[in-house]
Every structure is written in C-alpha cells, then in structure tokens.
Amino acid sequence: MSFTGPALVTADTAHPGIEYEAEWGDVAALAGQARPWWPYLLRLPQLINK
C-alpha cells in the first residue's frame, strides 16, 4: 500500500519471471484516466455499483 493506492506486482508477458512493482498512477496513465480504488474494509458494493 502506498499513498497513491495499492501496491501492484507486475510482470512482462515476454519475461514472466521478471517482476516489478508498479504504482497505481501507472495504471491510470495506461487506462488514460483516473481509476477508482477502495480499501477492502471500505468497499460497499451496493454504493460502488450505483
């Protein structure tokens, strides 16, 4: 867990044995927009799905 969101372990599909940590901001950059994320204990599916 970091200040920007969850810690993500990623791997290159061409070299699956090589792993590195990506930041949540990297996911947002690849998606082209901010991505929502809620800590597990704060997730309320009935509200998130609205």
Rg (CA), the chain: 13
d(CA 40, CA 42): 5
Give the burial class of 16: count Cβ atoms within 10 A of its Cβ; 0-12 exposed, 13-18 middle, 19 or more buried: exposed
d(CA 41, CA 31): 25
**pLDDT tier at 1, thresholds 50, 70, 90:** low
Instruction: Check if the beta carbon of residue 23 is closer than 8 Å to that of residue 16.
Output: no
Is residue 11 over pLDDT 80? yes
Q: What is the pLDDT of residues 15-26, one digit of tens each?
A: 888 988 888 888
What does pLDDT average to over the chain?
80
